[in-house]
Chain A
Amino acid sequence: MIPKSGTRFSDKSMRKEGTMPTLNVTRRNAFIAGGLAVAGAAIITRRPAAANTPGQMEQAIRSIIGEAAVKEGRVTLELPPLVENGNVVAMSVIVDSPMTKDDHVKAIHVFNEKNPQANVISMQLGPRAGRAQVSTRIRLAASQKLTAIAEMSDGTYWSDTQEVIVTLAACLEDLI
C-alpha cells in the first residue's frame, strides 16, 4: 500500500520545481517505486516479440489471393466464442459447395488479426475431397477476429469472420 504522505511524486510538484524532489524520498517509497519498476519491466519483456499490426492481416490476405473481391457467405468458420486457453483452440471450416468437377472448393485460407503472424493455415482441396470440411487446432495470442476465405473453382472468393475472446493467451506461457 502506498502511504498517505506528502512525499509521493506528483505531477504538480514535478512541474513546480522542475527537478526531481529526491530529498523527500523515504526508504519505503523508494522500495515501492523500485518494485513497480521491476514489475513493469517484467510485463514488457513477457510481451510477444512482434505483435501483428492492423494492416498485416489485409496484407497477408492480398499476398495469397491477390486483388480478387471477397464476398461474405457460403463459408462457416467454427470457433468457440470464449477460449480459456489460447494454446489449443479447435477450429473448423465448412464451405457450402457440391464438390463436383465443375463446382468445387480449390483452397481454404484462414487469417488472424493479432497473432505475431497473420497467416493461420492454407489448405488445397479438390473435387476428390467430397465434402469441403476441414478442422485443426490453432493458437491465439489475444482476443481477436479470424477470417476464413474459400477459393472456388469458378474463381470467386467467399469468406466468414468470427470474433473470439481469449482469457489465457498463447505465446506467454512460462518456459521450463
Chain B
Amino acid sequence: MAARALINVPKTAKRGQVIEIKTLISHVMETGYRHSTTGESIPRDIITSMSCKYNGEQIFETTLYPAIAANPFVTFHTVATESGTLTFTWIGDNGLSVTEEAKIVVS
C-alpha cells in the first residue's frame, strides 16, 4: 500500500523567519498489541522514523512508537535560511520508505 504524504510548508518566507512545518502520512500504525476476532495477534506495522533535511542538512528527526495515532501527524519549526528544498523521509516496518519534497523561496 502506497502511503500518501501531505506536507504543509509556506511557499515563501523572509530570511530568518521561524516557519511551522506540518506533515501527515496515511498509515494504519498497527500497534502489534491487538488481536483479531479469532484471537491471533496482529503483527506490528508502524512508521518508525521521520526526518527532514533542509538543502541536504538534517534539521529534524523523530522516532515514532506504537503510541502514535494512525496517520502520523507531526509538526515542528525551522528557521527559513535560504531558498531551496525540504526533503522529508518516512521509514517504517516491512521495508516502508517514503520521500517527499517541498520547495521554499526565501527573500
B54–chain A nearest beta-carbon distance, Å: 7
Which of B1-9, B63-71, B88-96, B99-107 lies on the face that meets chain A? B63-71
Query: What are some 19 contacts across the A-B interface (CB < 8 A)?
Result: A48-B34, A49-B33, A116-B31, A117-B66, A117-B67, A128-B78, A130-B77, A130-B79, A134-B77, A135-B73, A136-B74, A136-B75, A137-B68, A138-B68, A139-B66, A139-B68, A171-B31, A175-B37, A175-B42
Given contacts A88-B69, A130-B19, A136-B75, 8 further A-B contacts (CB under 8 A): A121-B62, A123-B62, A123-B63, A128-B78, A133-B77, A137-B73, A139-B31, A171-B33
Give the number of residues in A that approach B within 8 Å (Cβ atoms): 36
Most-contacted residue by chain A among B35, B59, B69 (CB, 10 A): B69
- Interface flag for B10 (CB, 8 Å): no
Pick from B62, B72, B75: contact of A124, CB below 8 A. Answer: B62
- Interface flag for A112 (CB, 8 Å): yes
Pick from A123, A126, A137: contact of B69, CB below 8 A. Answer: A137
Query: Across the interface, do B65 and A119 meet the contact criterion of CB distance under 8 Å?
Result: yes
Most-contacted residue by chain B among A116, A136, A138 (CB, 10 A): A136
A139–chain B nearest beta-carbon distance, Å: 5
Per the bound structure, the CA–CA distance linking A119 and B63 in Å amounts to 10
Interface residues of A in 1-17 (CB under 8 A from B): none
Give the number of residues in B that approach A within 8 Å (Cβ atoms): 34
How would residues 23 to 48 of chain B score, 1 for a CB under 8 Å from any chain A CB and 0 otherwise?
Answer: 00000000101111101011000000
Residues of A within 8 A of B36 (CB): 175
**Known contacts being A50-B33, A128-B54, A131-B77, is A45 close to B39, with CB within 8 Å?**
yes
Per the bound structure, the CA–CA distance linking A122 and B60 in Å amounts to 11
Per the bound structure, the CA–CA distance linking A131 and B67 in Å amounts to 25
B17 closest partner in A (C-beta): A130
- Interface flag for B81 (CB, 8 Å): yes
How would residues 130 to 149 of chain A score, 1 for a CB under 8 Å from any chain B CB and 0 otherwise?
Answer: 11111111111000000000
Per the bound structure, the CA–CA distance linking A135 and B24 in Å amounts to 12
Residues of B within 8 A of A88 (CB): 69-70
Interface residues of A in 148-176 (CB under 8 A from B): 170-171, 175
Query: Across the interface, do A137 and B72 meet the contact criterion of CB distance under 8 Å?
Result: yes
Residues of B within 8 A of A121 (CB): 62-65, 67-68
Pick from B18, B31, B65, B69: contact of A131, CB below 8 A. Answer: B18
